[in-house]
Amino acid sequence: MKKVLLGLMALTAASPALAAGYVGGSVGSGASLHYQQDLTTNSAMRYSLNLESTGFNFNTLTVGGSVDYLADIPSTSTLGGLTPYYGLGLGIGVAVGNTTGVMVYPHGNLGLRYQVSAPLSIFGEGNVGPSIVVSSAGTGIGFGFGAKIGLNYRIQ
């Protein structure tokens, strides 16, 4: 019996732990729903579906997605329970309405996360990067930025 228990303990210790998965959403520069998967204890990948209305009378709707790599910033202090993080991402959007077109947005992220309870955390995040647009209104490269607040709920 001891051999079986020791064998199971060794197998459990040697097998990789299941990575945590989260669902969530955010509002700010548009609205998004996302799924986030931990890669390690300090990094994750986030896959987002983004909706954004622009123009005075919501004349254009942009639907897109974003893939972001996020990593905690190593720090010696806890910052009052806040965890700072950074990341890199790529967003792609399609606009329909008064203007039609495609946008590509490679960007950098900087944010703070707070663990409210075991399954629930909240975050605030900003992003910046070049915005490349090809549309019926013209083609160009500009500077994009955004900010959002959101929540994550652990499902695994």
Q: Token digits for 149?
A: 């607040």
64-98: pLDDT as tens digits: 999 999 999 987 666 788 999 999 999 999 988 88
Q: Is the pLDDT of residue 7 over 50?
A: no
In the predicted model, what is the mean pLDDT of residues 105-128? 95
Using alpha carbons, list the distances in angstroms from residue 105 to 54, 112, 119, 129, 131: 16, 22, 31, 7, 5
Element (H, E) at 5: helix 2-14
In the predicted model, what is the mean pLDDT of residues 48-55? 74
Which residues are registered as beta bridge partners of 115?
121
CATH classification number, 18-154, choose in 2.40.160.20, 1.10.150.530, 3.40.50.720, 3.90.650.10: 2.40.160.20
Q: Token digits for 84?
A: 């700072």
